[in-house]
Amino acid sequence: TQLLEQSPQFLSIQEGENLTVYCNSSSVFSSLQWYRQEPGEGPVLLVTVVTGGEVKKLKRLTFQFGDARKDSSLHITAAQPGDTGLYLCAGEKAAGNKLTFGGGTRVLVKP
């Protein structure tokens, strides 16, 4: 069982549609990061959230950290083919601890 559960595991949508990816846990995290990984490459950091209830926007991407710091979501508005990739959430349980990754959500945006 993953400490961080991501859903859905796979998402296929048409260009222009919206999508939301969820990252859930029963544990509290001091911070949570979202990464995107494209085929043949390593993950690249998109955002870090540290405060419960925090909302961060990155162009068409909106990230939210749950009030209790146990969950997070990533919402993409008007998805484009360039948004295709594997989205990974990663959490730190406490200072000095290792970063734990969720299982990932594979997003395919068709033109």
Partner 1 sequence: KAGVTQTPRYLIKTRGQQVTLSCSPISGHRSVSWYQQTPGQGLQFLFEYFSETQRNKGNFPGRFSGRQFSNSRSEMNVSTLELGDSALYLCASSLLTQGASGELFFGEGSRLTVL
Residues in contact with partner 1 by CB under 8 A are 2, 30-31, 33, 35, 40-45, 48, 50, 88, 90, 92, 94-104
Q: Which is nearer to partner 1, 84 or 105 (CB)?
A: 105
Q: Are strands 71-76 and 19-24 parallel, antiparallel or unpaired?
A: antiparallel
- How much helix, strand and coil, in percent to the nearest 5, is found in the chain? 5, 55, 45
Least distance from C-beta 96 to partner 1, angstroms? 4
Least distance from C-beta 92 to partner 1, angstroms? 6
Q: If you ran DSSP here, which 8-state letter would residue 98 be given?
A: P
Q: Which is nearer to partner 1, 55 or 94 (CB)?
A: 94
- Say how many residues make up the chain: 111
Q: How many CB atoms lie within 10 A of CB 69?
A: 21
Least distance from C-beta 91 to partner 1, angstroms? 10
